[in-house]
Amino acid sequence: MNPKSRTLSDRLRQDAIIVAPGVFDMISSRLADSMGFDAIYMSGYGTVASYLGLPDAGLATYTDMVSRVAQICAGTGTPLVADADTGYGGVLNVRHTVQGYEAAGASAIQLEDQVSPKKCGHVEGGKVISAAEMVGKLRVALESRRSKDTLIIARTDARSSLGLDEALRRGEAYARAGADMVFIESPQSEDELRRIGEALKGAKLVANVGQGTRTPELSSAELQSLGYSLAIYPSLAHKSAAAAVKLSYHYLREHGTAIGLDVPLLSASDMHQLMGFPEILQFEKRHEEETASSP
């Protein structure tokens, strides 16, 4: 059993909301891991963008994504909530995805009810499969995991194409099917966020906190008061990183130097610390000393 899954499962039983920053590469993952969060969230959008340079439109494969899960989990100690899109196919694919993500170290696996190829939940054109088909996928996901501490998150994207009432109906059906958490994507007002909390009072709810998306941004305390258990921030890191890099490159292009650049930078020593250079240097020194002292 992945011990981090047990940690997240236990933490979810507490009343306080879990705040999970989005990560998309190993720099963002190691930064988030160093800050004491209860969970981190592997952003599908950010991971596909950083790894493949492509939009989050169903172009990444299971193999692409499970390798990112394994890399993040191997390099961090914080429980990972991993976006697994639609499960990458039918029920057989869902079984393969859940077992693969779990073996890679994911503590929670998010599956959605979009038609494949999927789209980012905050762009136009997303379509959903039937609720019955998604319930079937969830049942397979639940029976396929090797530990009940590995959480299955059921996401519905029905709000954008079929309306909030249908999204709520699906959320209730997914909770009845046994999903550990329910995620209704893209509510479009604070009132809708409140209605979701009221309608699904017995479920553990996920809120997607974006910046400049269709969903209004509320604080984690406000979301907790509305009944949410997990607040994910999928795009915060890759949006802020992209903005800083864009500004830095623009300055360099215009001035031919980085002198005078007004962008916060990690010091070289802090960057070395983040990436683990001190441990490498200590390791090499210890083995050099052992070699030198050998007869």
Output the pLDDT for position 162: 96
- Give the domain range for residue 212: 3-235
Same domain, 98 and 53: yes
- Block means of pLDDT (10 residues each) for the chain, 295 residues, are 93 96 97 97 95 92 97 98 96 98 98 86 78 98 97 97 97 98 96 98 96 92 98 96 97 98 95 92 86 77
Counting the structural domains of the chain, the total is 2
Do both 147 and 281 map to the same domain?
no
Distance CA 199, CA 250 (A): 48
Q: Do residue 55 and residue 149 come from a single domain? A: yes
- Among 171, 188, 46, smallest CA distance to 120 is for 46
Question: Do 123 and 21 sit in the same domain of this protein?
Answer: yes
Instruction: Indicate the residue type of 16.
Output: A
Domain boundary among 205, 220, 235: 235
Number of C-beta neighbours around residue 24 at 10 A: 25
Tally of CA atoms within 13 A in the half-sphere of 5 that contains its CB: 21
